[in-house]
């Protein structure tokens, strides 16, 4: 178990101790570890002291979570509050967070829009001031807001009023001007000051949260879908009930950018300063903004049915957004509809297919303002994360607004001529392909934080992963890391597809090359393009959003990122590109600003939609569509929605421990990954602990496999780019040929085939015959081994070493006789049809005993109850006879030694007899249920033989790398691939890479799991994790011996017989 914690020293940094006031740490510990075992290390991480105590006397370490003191003996790591992202205070409680009051405050004040949006302030009564000054109770980083702009008062009866404090740019409430006389502030009303918008709303209460379950390993599971016990997300737009409790207590603030009334002010998190930028008047949307459509102005959104009055609009020109195909169900809107939505004109309703994630239609509200639930504001997102609320991760791949983000707001005019205030302006990544954001760094960072917060709050980590590439050397790595450190807490940046890193972050060019390489492999291997074109909502997911902050550097990296922006949407990969420029203004028109952004970040030119921050203080933006020739039209003017770094930190920490309570990867295709340097077969089989019970469960499943009648013959060869690589001798066979030079791992791969076949089927339904053609000399195990190591497996009935001509001839005769016997049993049909008839008549298993259920019935018989009987009773312990026609697999190591035996070889005189029998297996085996698995060198006379020509499955192994290690494990530890690496070719032309699973290695040593606490270095989270070389027990059993023992015990427990030997 690994969890990330932050330890805070309220006393601050001390030059004597040399410690830091705050330190992020990574705690690694077994499940169930007490806090006491890591408390001294946590204290040392933040104070720099080597001892356990804060004083020289070594007193006990005291830790707090919020205001609660933690008992080091009763609190367990991984259980709340000690979960991922938790903040612990050393020695004394830190400044309390007002999160517990979210259920108590009768009224809340939300900052729903503007350059410093997202604040949630809890109103307990009294007067609070709102303004740009740090002395305001609700400070806003908005240059258009006066230092003390307005005051909001909550009376003892719960009535909320607002007054203007002689502000420069004035205050409006639902469009009406606010004066110095108190004006009633109704719940749901929109208060506008500068470019910011505030709303009063009643508290959601405990019912606004969903139930969660801690998993004991640092995570909290959240169920996906609707919670019938949770209150709806929407709250009534009404004042508190008359009988509600009178508000009391000071005003609280839900994140750390503001202090508390009546309490000593603490140091606030730093926010970007605007310097001495002049205050400007608020700019209402001009007439060119057009009419209002469905509460949004949506870039990249193509509706289904254009408005009849707009079919012949002269603005219908240009080409579709680059980088993505237009879903077929939405093509009819065309580019004109896109342009009309971009300019705010009325469009058509979007019809979405029903889905578990679909939202209910909005209810009409007779007010001028309707709450934009489809695109929640930043304050609603914060409450969703803190709760967690029912809106958390409610957008699935079928949701019509999946990957749609809100960038700002603009005023619109409704169809009836009424004013619609703060209408969301949105962009759809699935439609635009890639999105570009450009402007001055402070505002640009706030806008990027708001965009990524929406994606993280509304899409689960199973559906969406976020990748950051911030390798622009024009800024220091410390500056970039500090700006993006909040992102590392999100669960969406954890590698979920085996990427070789701790987090999906890149702060240098090496990390950036690794992240782009991983994504390009996904794009190139991709999904079926036809499914993308014809899907009602585009790519079915999972999705990846790649944040490219600045110029990644290097021509190769620039080209790779540009390829991601253009081709990525077909595989669900979308780029959000950030470019630092001056704001668009009369001195720097939109075209010049766009070209400056493309020069700063070359990938910006590949974006299908761009948002350019504009205005003297960059609090407005222009959202424009981009054609191959450049931006189209003047775009849509909106007031930007941005959030502070402190808001993003609070938001990300709230999401850090949350995980969807669904099996990971249920609906996600596997992503192609590089082959590992080495592979352990038992791990690929899912039998890290090989037990009889696990094997019997697999055998019971094979008995119900209607596609492998008569016995399953499915061999796991090793690890592949998308998981275990399987060769099914029934479905893809019937024969398998392994080719490779000496030392390439042929013998070990054959051992893996034998072991995995035994794990897949019972010994009375599958028999194996082993032939060592090189006098038993194996390349990996020394003289006298070869396939002999597999003879302890009960499925192996015969083992022949090609050094005794008399025994070899006897074997050839017996194998030929077995083929003749099977041919007589099968007759004119084949193996599968013969077993089909016996399955129907009930005589397939009845060969073991006649009549009804008796003491000799095997576990394949249907038990009297619905419970699968894995352990037979005492009367079932005797061995039963094998069925008359089980599958048979003949495994030959070094077919070359039989085709061209060396001069002086003892088995040379009889090699021809054995080869003729094997050629008969190659010709007739498929019809008779006999399969051939052989290994040979490359080329030579063997390629012209019948076994080589009729092999439908072929493994071609690479030549050994010539490493200095003495064995496969040592080579893997040195960074060189272990023997067994090659490709598997299927009969339908498919080819996949494979790293053969090693099965004769010793059981790996188990490291002592002692708790450790290490400082968390965000800059290096994108590096491959350090791995200790796996050392094997020098005198322990091999994996093959462990598996053979488990198979033998499982065979006894199911009373399985054995296929008769050929010798």
Which of 108-122, 173-187, 280-294, 438-452 shows the lowest per-residue confidence on average (mean pLDDT)? Answer: 280-294
* pLDDT the model gives residue 371: 45
Q: Show the tokens assigned to 958.
A: 């690479």
Contact 787, 799 (CB under 8 A): yes
Specify the pLDDT at position 93.
87
CATH 3.10.20.90 fits 2-90, yes or no: yes
- Strands 120-123, 252-253: pairing kind: antiparallel
Is-contact 918 799, C-beta < 8 A? no
Q: What is the rounded distance in angstroms from the CA atom of residue 256 to the CA atom of residue 273?
A: 17
Whether the bond between 388 and the residue before it is cis, its omega within 30 degrees of 0, is yes
Q: What residues does CATH 3.10.20.90 cover in the chain? A: 2-90
Query: What are the phi and psi torsion angles at 53 (to 5°)?
Result: -100, 165
Confidence at residue 670, expressed as pLDDT on a 0 to 100 scale = 54
The stretch 343-353 carries a mean pLDDT of 36
Q: Indicate if the pLDDT at residue 527 is higher than 90.
A: no
Over residues 674-695, mean pLDDT:
86
Give 325's DSSP letter.
P
At residue 800, the pLDDT reads: 93
pLDDT score of 429 more than 50: yes
pLDDT single digits (tens) 236-289: 333 333 333 444 444 455 443 333 333 333 333 322 332 322 222 233 333 333
How many CB atoms within 10 Å of residue 520?
18
Q: How far is 956 from 986, CA to CA, in rounded Å?
A: 12
More confident residue, 689 or 748: 748
Collect contacts of 811-815 with beta carbons under 8 A, ≥24 apart: 811/771, 811/914, 811/917, 811/1062, 811/1063, 812/910, 812/913, 812/914, 812/916, 812/917, 813/913, 814/1062, 814/1063, 815/769, 815/890, 815/917, 815/918, 815/920, 815/921, 815/1062
Q: Residue 778: beta bridge partners?
A: 782
pLDDT at 686: 87
Cβ-contact 60, 82 below 8 angstroms? no
Give 547-591 pLDDT, tens digit per residue: 999 999 889 999 999 999 999 999 999 999 999 999 998 877 888
Cα(1029)–Cα(502) distance, integer angstroms: 18
Contacts of 96 (CB under 8 A, 6+ apart): 66, 67
Banded model confidence at residue 499, pLDDT cuts 50, 70, 90? confident
CATH class of the domain defined by 679-846+873-1002+1037-1050: alpha beta
Tell me the β-bridge partners of 464: 543
- C-alpha to C-alpha distance for 210 and 201, rounded to whole angstroms: 20
pLDDT band at 1005 (very low <50, low <70, confident <90, very high): low
Q: How far is CA 169 from CA 164, 277, 796, 950, in A?
A: 10, 15, 89, 85
CA 939 to chain centre: 44
Query: Within the chain, which residue ranges are assigned CATH 2.60.200.20?
Result: 99-253
DSSP 907-975: THHHHHHHHHHHHHHHHHHHHHTEEEEEEE-SSSGGGGSHHHHT-SEEEEEPPP---S-SSHHHHHHTT
Judge whether residue 868 has pLDDT over 50: no
Least-confidence region, from 33-37, 62-66, 223-227, 891-895: 223-227
Q: Which two tokens stand for residue 717?
A: 């060869």
Q: Rounded distance, CA 813 to CA 822, Å?
A: 14
Q: What does the pLDDT read at residue 775?
A: 61
- Residue 829 binned pLDDT confidence (cut-offs 50, 70, 90): confident
Alpha-carbon distance of 455 to 492, in angstroms, equals: 10
| Enclosing H/E stretch for 564 | helix 555-567
Q: What is the pLDDT of residues 645-679, one digit of tens each?
A: 999 999 999 999 999 987 544 445 555 667 888 89
pLDDT for res 99: 60
577 beta partners: 436, 548
Distance CA 322, CA 333 (A): 16
- The yes-or-no verdict on residue 1031 having pLDDT over 80 is no
By residue count, the chain amounts to 1063
Q: Which residues pair with 177 in a beta bridge?
A: 172
Three-state SS string over 957-1019 comes to ECCCCCCCCCCHHHHHHCCCCCCCEEEEECCCCCEEEEEEEECCCECECCCCCCCEEEECCHH
Determine the Cα–Cα distance for residues 569 and 93; give it in Å rounded to an integer: 48
**How confident is residue 98, by pLDDT bands cut at 50, 70 and 90?**
low
Return residue ranges of the chain for CATH 3.40.50.300: 428-657, 679-846+873-1002+1037-1050
For the ranges 135-139, 248-252, 485-489, which has the lowest average pLDDT?
248-252
pLDDT of residue 667: 45
Copy the structure tokens of residue 982. Answer: 């090659």
Q: Tell me, what's the pLDDT at 951?
A: 94
**Cα–Cα distance list, 232 to 206, 373, 376, 383 (Å):** 12, 11, 14, 14
pLDDT in tens, 458-473: 999 999 999 999 999 9
Give dist(CA 756, CA 788) in Å, integer.
Answer: 16
| Mean pLDDT (whole number) for 782-798 | 82
pLDDT surpasses 60 at 631: yes
Least confident of 60-69, 204-213, 337-346, 725-734: 337-346
Of 156-165, 239-248, 266-275, 616-625, where does mean pLDDT reach its minimum? 266-275
Angle (nearest 5°) at CA 383 between 377 and 388: 125
> Residue 844, SS3?
helix
Count Cβ atoms within 10 A of the Cβ of residue 812 and give its class: 0-12 exposed, 13-18 middle, 19 or more buried: buried
User: Measured between alpha carbons, how far is 928 from 886 in angstroms, rounded to an integer?
Assistant: 10
Residue 99, token pair as written in the block: 């999160």
* pLDDT band of 296, cuts 50, 70, 90: very low
Helix, strand or coil, per DSSP, at residue 154: strand
Q: Which of 399-413, 497-511, 765-779 has the lowest mean pLDDT?
A: 765-779
Give the distance between the most distant pair of CA atoms in the chain. 114
Query: Assign residue 541 a region: left if phi > 0, alpha if psi is -120 to 50, beta otherwise?
Result: left
Q: For residue 35, give Cα distances in angstroms to 63, 75, 266.
A: 9, 6, 29
Per-residue pLDDT band at 299 (split at 50, 70, 90)? low
Task: Over range 179-198, report the average pLDDT.
Answer: 94
By mean pLDDT, which of 221-225, 589-593, 610-614, 705-709 is the weakest?
A: 705-709
pLDDT band at 883; cut points 50, 70, 90: low
Provide mean pLDDT across the span 367-379: 66
Peptide bond between residue 838 and the one before it cis (omega within 30 degrees of 0): no
Angle subtended at Cα 416 by Cα 410 and Cα 422, rounded to the nearest 5 degrees: 15
Q: Of residues 499 and 342, which shows the higher confidence score?
A: 499
As a whole number, the mean pLDDT across the chain is: 78
**Residue 42 pLDDT:** 93
- Give me the mean pLDDT over the 99-121 stretch: 83
CB contact set of 990 (below 8 Å; sequence gap of 6+): none
pLDDT tens, position by position, 754-788: 999 999 999 999 999 999 987 644 444 444 478 99
Element (H, E) at 152: strand 150-154
Residue pair 1055/879 in contact by the 8 Å Cβ criterion: yes
Contact of 370 with 190, CB cutoff 8 Å: no
- DSSP assignment string, 1014-1037: EE--GGGTTSPPP-PPPPBPTTSP
Give dist(CA 80, CA 216) in Å, integer.
Answer: 8
- Closest by Cα among 680, 698, 696 to 688: 680
| DSSP assignment letter at 782 | B
* Pick from 346-360, 505-519, 703-717: least confident: 346-360
Q: What pLDDT, on a 0 to 100 scale, did the predictor assign at position 229?
A: 36
Instruction: For residue 162, name the pLDDT band (cuts at 50, 70, 90).
Output: very high
- Output the pLDDT for position 562: 95
Lookup: tokens for 205: 């209460």
pLDDT of residue 102: 60
Q: How far apart are CA 801 and CA 785, in angstroms?
A: 10
pLDDT at residue 524 tops 70:
yes
For the chain, report the end-to-end CA distance as a whole number of angstroms. 53
How much of the chain exceeds pLDDT 90, in percent?
50
The CATH number of 99-253 is 2.60.200.20
Confidence of residue 941 (pLDDT cuts 50, 70, 90): confident
Higher pLDDT, 899 or 336: 899
Lowest average pLDDT, out of 94-103, 164-173, 440-449, goes to 94-103
Please give the residue that has the higher pLDDT: either 366 or 544.
Answer: 544
Task: Name the DSSP letter for residue 76.
Answer: B
Residue 742 exposed, middle or buried by CB count within 10 Å (0-12, 13-18, 19+): exposed
Q: Are strands 434-439 and 573-580 parallel, antiparallel or unpaired?
A: parallel
Of 617, 592, 606, 589, the C-alpha closest to 548 is 606
Q: Give me the mean pLDDT over the 878-887 stretch.
A: 67
Which tens digit of pLDDT belongs to each residue from 43-89? 988 887 654 444 434 468 999 998 889 999 999 999 999 999 999 99
Pairwise CA distance, residues 578 & 926, whole Å: 60
- C-alpha span between 71 and 62 (Å, rounded): 8
| Assigned superfamily of 428-657 | P-loop containing nucleotide triphosphate hydrolases (3.40.50.300)
CA 534 to chain centre: 25
């Amino acid at each position: 178990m690994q969890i990330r914690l932050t330890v805070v020293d309220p006393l601050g940094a001390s030059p004597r101790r040399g410690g830091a006031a705050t330190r992020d740490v990574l705690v690694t510990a077994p499940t169930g570890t007490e806090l006491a075992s890591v408390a001294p290390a946590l204290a040392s991480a933040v104070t720099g002291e080597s001892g356990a105590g804060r004083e020289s006397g070594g007193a006990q370490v005291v830790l707090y979570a919020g205001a609660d003191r933690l008992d080091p003996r009763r609190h367990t790591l991984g259980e709340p509050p000690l979960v991922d992202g938790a903040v612990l205070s050393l020695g004394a409680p830190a400044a309390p967070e007002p999160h517990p009051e979210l259920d108590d405050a009768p009224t809340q004040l939300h900052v729903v829009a503007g350059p410093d949006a997202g604040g949630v302030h809890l109103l307990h009564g009294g007067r609070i001031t709102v303004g740009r000054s740090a002395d305001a109770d609700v400070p806003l980083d908005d240059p258009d807001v006066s230092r003390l702009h307005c005051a909001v008062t909550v009376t003892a009866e719960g009535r909320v009023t607002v007054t203007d404090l002689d502000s420069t740019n004035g205050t409006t409430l639902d469009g009406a001007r606010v004066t110095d006389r108190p004006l009633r502030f109704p719940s749901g009303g929109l208060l506008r000051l500068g470019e910011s918008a505030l709303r009063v709303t009643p508290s959601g209460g405990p019912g606004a949260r969903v139930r969660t379950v801690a998993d004991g390993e640092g995570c909290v599971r959240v169920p996906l879908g609707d919670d019938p016990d949770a209150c709806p997300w929407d709250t009534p737009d009404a004042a508190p009930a008359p009988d509600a409790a009178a508000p009391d207590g000071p005003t609280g603030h839900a994140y750390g950018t503001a202090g508390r009334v009546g309490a000593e002010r603490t140091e606030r998190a730093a926010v970007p300063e605007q310097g001495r930028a002049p205050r400007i008047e608020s700019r209402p949307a001009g007439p060119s903004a057009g009419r209002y459509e469905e509460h949004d102005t949506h870039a990249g959104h193509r509706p289904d049915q254009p408005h009849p009055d707009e079919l012949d609009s002269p603005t219908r020109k240009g080409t579709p957004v680059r980088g993505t195909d237009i879903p077929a169900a939405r093509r009819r809107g065309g580019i004109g509809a896109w342009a009309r939505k971009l300019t705010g004109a009325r469009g058509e309703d979007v019809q979405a297919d029903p889905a578990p994630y679909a939202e209910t239609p909005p209810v009409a509200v007779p007010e001028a303002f309707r709450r934009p639930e489809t695109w929640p504001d930043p304050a609603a997102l914060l409450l969703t994360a803190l709760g967690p609320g029912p809106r958390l991760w409610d957008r699935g791949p079928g949701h019509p607004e999946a990957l749609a983000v809100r960038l700002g707001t603009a005023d619109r005019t409704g169809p009836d001529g009424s004013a619609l205030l703060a209408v969301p302006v949105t962009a759809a990544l699935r439609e635009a392909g890639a999105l570009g954001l450009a402007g001055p760094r402070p505002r640009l960072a706030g806008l990027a934080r708001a965009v990524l917060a929406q994606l993280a709050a509304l899409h689960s980590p199973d559906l969406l992963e976020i990748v950051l590439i911030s390798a622009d050397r024009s800024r220091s790595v410390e500056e970039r890391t500090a700006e993006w450190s909040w992102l590392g807490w999100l669960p969406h940046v954890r590698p979920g597809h085996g990427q070789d890193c701790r987090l999906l972050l890149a702060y240098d060019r090496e990390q950036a090359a690794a992240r782009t390489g991983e994504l390009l492999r996904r794009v190139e291997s991709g999904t079926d393009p036809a499914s993308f074109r014809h899907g009602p909502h585009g790519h079915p997911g999972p999705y990846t959003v790649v944040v490219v902050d600045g110029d990644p550097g290097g021509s190769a990296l620039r080209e790779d990122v540009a390829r991601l922006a253009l081709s990525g949407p077909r595989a669900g990969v979308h780029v959000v590109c950030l470019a630092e420029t001056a704001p668009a203004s009369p001195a720097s028109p939109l075209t010049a600003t766009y070209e400056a952004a493309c020069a700063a970040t070359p990938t910006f030119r590949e974006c299908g939609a761009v948002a350019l921050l504009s205005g003297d203080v960059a609090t407005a933006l222009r959202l424009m569509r981009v054609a191959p020739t450049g931006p189209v039209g003047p775009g849509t003017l909106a007031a930007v929605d941005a959030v502070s770094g402190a808001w993003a930190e609070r938001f990300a920490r709230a999401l850090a421990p949350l995980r969807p309570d669904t099996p990971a990867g249920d609906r996600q295709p596997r992503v192609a990954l590089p082959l590992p340097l080495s592979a352990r077969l038992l791990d690929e089989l899912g039998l890290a602990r090989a037990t009889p019970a696990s094997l019997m469960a697999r055998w019971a499943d094979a008995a119900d496999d209607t596609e492998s009648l008569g016995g399953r013959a499915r061999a796991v060869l090793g690890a592949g780019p998308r998981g275990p690589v399987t060769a099914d001798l029934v479905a893809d066979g019937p024969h398998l040929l392994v080719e490779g030079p000496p030392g390439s791992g042929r013998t070990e791969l054959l051992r893996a085939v034998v072991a995995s076949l035994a794990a897949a089927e019972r010994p009375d339904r599958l028999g194996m015959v082993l032939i060592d053609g090189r006098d038993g000399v194996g390349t990996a195990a020394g003289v006298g081994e070869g396939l002999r190591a597999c003879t302890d497996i009960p499925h192996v009935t015969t083992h022949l070493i090609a050094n005794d001509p008399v025994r070899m001839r006897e074997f050839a005769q017996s194998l030929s006789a077995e083929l003749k016997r099977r041919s007589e049993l099968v007759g004119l049909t084949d193996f599968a049809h013969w077993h089909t008839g016996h399955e129907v008549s009930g005589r397939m298993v009845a060969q073991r005993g006649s009549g009804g259920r008796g003491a000799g019935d095997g576990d394949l018989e249907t038990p009297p109850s619905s419970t699968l009987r894995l352990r037979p009773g005492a009367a079932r312990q005797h061995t039963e006879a094998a069925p008359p026609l089980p599958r048979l697999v003949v495994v030959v190591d070094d077919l070359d030694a039989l085709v061209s035996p060396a001069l002086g070889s003892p088995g040379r005189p009889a090699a021809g007899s054995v080869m003729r029998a094997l050629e008969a297996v190659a010709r007739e085996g498929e019809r008779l249920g006999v399969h051939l698995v052989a290994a040979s060198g490359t080329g030579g006379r063997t390629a012209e033989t019948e076994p080589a020509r009729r092999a439908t499955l072929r493994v071609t192994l690479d030549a050994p790398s010539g490493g200095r290690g003495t064995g496969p494990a040592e080579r893997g530890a040195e960074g060189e691939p272990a023997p067994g690496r090659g490709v598997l070719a299927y009969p339908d032309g498919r080819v996949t890479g494979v790293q053969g699973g090693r099965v004769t290695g010793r059981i790996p040593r188990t490291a002592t799991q002692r708790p450790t606490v290490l400082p968390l270095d965000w800059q290096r989270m994108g590096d491959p994790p350090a791995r200790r070389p796996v050392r094997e027990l020098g005198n322990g059993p091999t994996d093959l011996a462990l598996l053979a023992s488990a198979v033998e015990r499982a065979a006894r427990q199911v009373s399985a017989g054995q296929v008769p030997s050929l010798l």
